[in-house]
A and B are shown apart, each in its own frame.
Chain A
């Protein structure tokens, strides 16, 4: 199997994630889409590491995972707080600066 297919998969996943961030209203779903994009990049990193035959890409993907873990902790906390205060998880409701 051609190794470049992994890259195509990564691009498709990233695009699905990006479209999801733009079109979905539910904060949880948006959040999941962001995770999807992160993991799409991870896949790209790992694939490039395999193509180039060194470990740099794999190391970078570890960093991405660590950052993603932290981001999940903070992001979920924000979403939960938002939901508690306004009984809604829609990102469109969080537009205080506009009003």
Chain B
């Protein structure tokens, strides 16, 4: 362990900048976006310098820590606000600050007509700070603060245009779904503290081998619930599609590249828990496999370009979660796919934003068509991202996704075949729906209204897209060549050097298989979408209808959770009204009535009082007389 003194600046810089922009208000309107972008860029610079400093160190000295202050000290419960920068966190730091800075630059142009641009940048910086705290915290409790922080930033940014009620509702939905996951995280922390007496990663890691398997499974399941909430995994995935209400740069940064991958980070960071509990691992792969197919299927039917990409994000994160559930060998591939996905998905989201920018914020792909001629740069950058996500060699997705499919097949037995088959099927559907997006948007004949004037976006917008496109091309090869990523992360996630399972098929066979299904998917989409009606056809198969409705997840949530919840609350309100309030009211009513009678005695006439006294006196004497008789 190396002790560092300047990790805290990574978080402090964007946090202070967010505070400045929010507190100064309209005074900062003129330069707010510049400050925010510079701060994000300097955080990236710190990240890069830390990365090279880490590379120059070796062995255990690579990980750096910094204790900022003693946060909680109650009896035996001690938590420091401390940061840990190891091989895993630096990967995230570079992704968050790198992609984050590009998106800041993009947003300068994208949000230039918005009168609240300063507030937008303040939230973006707040997000960067919270996300960095999430990946840098050295204990679950520090992570939790960042975890909630990104949830808040996500809520604020989804509802950035909250003057539209639907957008405000979407923000609320995301927040509530995330809260469900957060309960899982807090329960996991509590169980961990009860078991190990500490919540630091190092402490829990040291204690994990001695803990009971039931406790580890419970922690693992709760962590998975947390991951499912944050990463939009089954069964908490329904918020991600609606989260596209936020401005497109937000969708690119938070709901594609960084925040939604926090669940993958959480599971990877807690590898010592999952390595020790095969039940928890099984749950993880089941959730991952279901979500990767779920997202892919939903993606095939969405006409809203951003929602199609959101479904794709869900599906790709499903791949990552699947990989994290495959044991020590899977973590590195999950993180590798996470990084490459960060590049190509953010790039494609920015591309979608660029298209919307040129098309007067139209999001319906059926109203696009033939845009390649008008937006050449967007088409190229989007196309490179497209090639990366469907996994065409030598683009990034090929390296990362093939590794996951391969590892899934090698998981052994029926489980391996099922998981590998699901991953392979997912790849085919991915190829289909991504081709559909590209064909509908950039190819074919124009279907837009006469008043739309598609045009290429300004340089501030296409430059980040171009850089991300380069990443989509090169990152996979760079991370995979010589198992660079696997070796880099090994000290954190696979210290004992576990090898992959027995190979079911040779890697080249898996790659060819994957490529084969991709070709089928692409060909199918190209044939199916030669002609596109500009209004979505109604006479579609039941599967398409289901996919358009997000496979009825919202209806299910409503029927299973929302309606019973409303019934319960209205029942409780009724009980409160009749039983509790009724009891209180009847006591008051009885007292009022009785005292109404008694009050009539008090007529204000002295004579009456005298008479009452007299009668009382006589009664008293009579009583005494009777008693003594």
Interface residue ranges, A against B (CB under 8 Å): 18, 21-25, 30, 91-92, 94-95, 97-99
**Docked-complex contact B604 and A99, CB < 8 angstroms:** yes
**Residue contacts A-B, CB under 8 angstroms, 11 given:** A21-B610, A22-B610, A23-B607, A24-B607, A25-B607, A30-B607, A91-B605, A95-B604, A97-B604, A98-B602, A99-B604
Identify the closest chain A residue to B611 (Cβ).
A22
Q: Closest approach, in angstroms, between the C-beta of B612 and any C-beta of chain A?
A: 10
Is there contact, CB below 8 Å, between A18 and B614? yes
Distance in angstroms from B603 CB to nearest chain A CB is 7
Q: Are B606 and A94 in contact (CB under 8 A)?
A: yes
Report whether A21 and B605 are in contact in the complex, using a CB–CB cutoff of 8 Å: no
Q: Could you say which residues of chain A place their CB within 8 Å of the CB of B614?
A: 18, 21-22
Residues of B within 8 A of A92 (CB): 605-607
- Report the separation of the CA atoms of residues A92 and B606 in the bound assembly, to the nearest whole angstrom: 7
Q: How many residues of B contact A (CB 8 A)?
A: 9
Q: Which residues of B contact A21 (CB under 8 A)?
A: 607, 610, 614
Contacts of A94 in B (CB 8 A): 606
Q: How far is the CB of B215 from chain A (nearest CB, A)?
A: 73
For chain B, residues 571 to 629, give those with C-beta under 8 angstroms from any C-beta of chain A: 602-607, 610-611, 614
**What total of A-B pairs shows CB separation below 8 Å?**
28
B residues within 8 A CB of A95?
Answer: 603-606
Q: Which residues of A contact B605 (CB under 8 A)?
A: 91-92, 95
A93 to chain B, nearest CB (A): 10
8 smallest beta-carbon distances between A and B, as pairs = A98-B604, A95-B604, A22-B611, A91-B606, A21-B610, A22-B607, A92-B605, A22-B610
Query: In the bound complex, how far is the Cα of B608 from the Cα of A23, in angstroms?
Result: 9
List the A residue with the shortest CB-CB distance to B602.
Answer: A98
**Distance in angstroms between the alpha carbons of A97 and B599 in the assembled complex:** 13
Measured between alpha carbons, how far is A18 from B606 in the docked complex, in Å?
A: 13
**How far is the CB of B598 from the nearest CB of chain A, in Å?**
14
Minimum C-beta distance from A27 to chain B (A): 9
Residues of B within 8 A of A30 (CB): 607
**Smallest distance from the beta carbon of A89 to chain B beta carbons, Å?**
13
Question: Smallest Cβ distance from A95 to chain B, in angstroms?
Answer: 3
A5 to B614, CA, bound (A): 24
Nearest B residue to A19 via CB reads: B614
Q: How close is B354's CB to chain A, nearest CB, in angstroms? A: 83
Residues in B neighbouring A98, C-beta threshold 8 A: 602-604
B153 shortest CB reach to chain A, Å: 66
What 6 additional pairs, Cβ within 8 angstroms, besides A25-B607, A92-B605, A94-B606? A22-B607, A22-B611, A23-B607, A24-B607, A98-B602, A98-B604
Q: Which residue of A lies closest to B612 (CB)?
A: A22
Once bound together, how far apart are the Cα atoms of A30 and B614, in whole Å?
14
The closest CB in chain B to the CB of A96 belongs to B604
Q: Which residue of B lies closest to A98 (CB)?
A: B604
B contact residues around A24 at 8 Å (CB): 607
| CA–CA, A24 and B611, complex, Å | 12
Question: CA A22 – CA B618 in complex, angstroms?
Answer: 14
Contacts of B610 in A (CB 8 A): 21-22
Smallest Cβ distance from A99 to chain B, in angstroms? 7
Q: Closest CB of chain A to B609's CB: distance in Å?
A: 10
